[in-house]
Amino acid sequence: MNFIVPLIITDQMKSSLFGMTTYETKSNQITIYLNKKRFKESLDYMIDDVIPHEYAHAIMFKFGEFSNKNAGHTLQWQKVCRSLEGLRCDRFVNHKDILIDKTKLFY
Ligand SMILES: [Zn+2]
C-alpha cells in the first residue's frame, strides 16, 4: 500500500492538543498536524504515542471510515493504531483530534 500523507508541525494549535488529523472532502486531502509547542517537553511521547495515534486516524480516513463515534476512536481505529506499534491506543481518550471539513482548524 502506497500512502503519502503530509505531516505538518505547527505552533498554531491549542496547547491541550498534541496532534490532529484532518480530512477535506472536496480535495480528498488527509493531513496530520503535530503541535510544535509540545515537542520540546515530550519528544518521546510525540514519537511513540501521538504519531501512531494520528496515522491510525489518517488510515481510517484513507479507507473511507469517517465515523465520528467516540471521536473516531473506534475499535477498528484501535487495531490500526496497535499495528503501527502505538504505545497508547486508548479508545477512551477525552480529546477530539479529528476534523472533517472544518474551516477553523485548531480551535
Ligand atoms: Zn485520536
Q: Is residue 103 part of a domain?
A: no
- Ligand 1 mean position, distance from CA 1 (Å): 22
- Ligand 1 mean position, distance from CA 90 (Å): 9
The bridge status of strand 98-100 relative to strand 29-35 is unpaired
- Ligand 1 mean position, distance from CA 36 (Å): 17
8 touches 36 (CB < 8 A) = no
Domain containing 68 equals: 7-93
- What is the value of pTM for the model shown? 0.90
9 versus 93: which is more confidently predicted? 9
Q: Is residue 106 part of a domain?
A: no
Q: Is residue 78 part of a domain?
A: yes
Q: How many domains does the chain have?
A: 1
Average pLDDT over residues 63-80: 92
pLDDT value for 53: 95
pLDDT value for 106: 58
Q: Is residue 100 part of a domain?
A: no
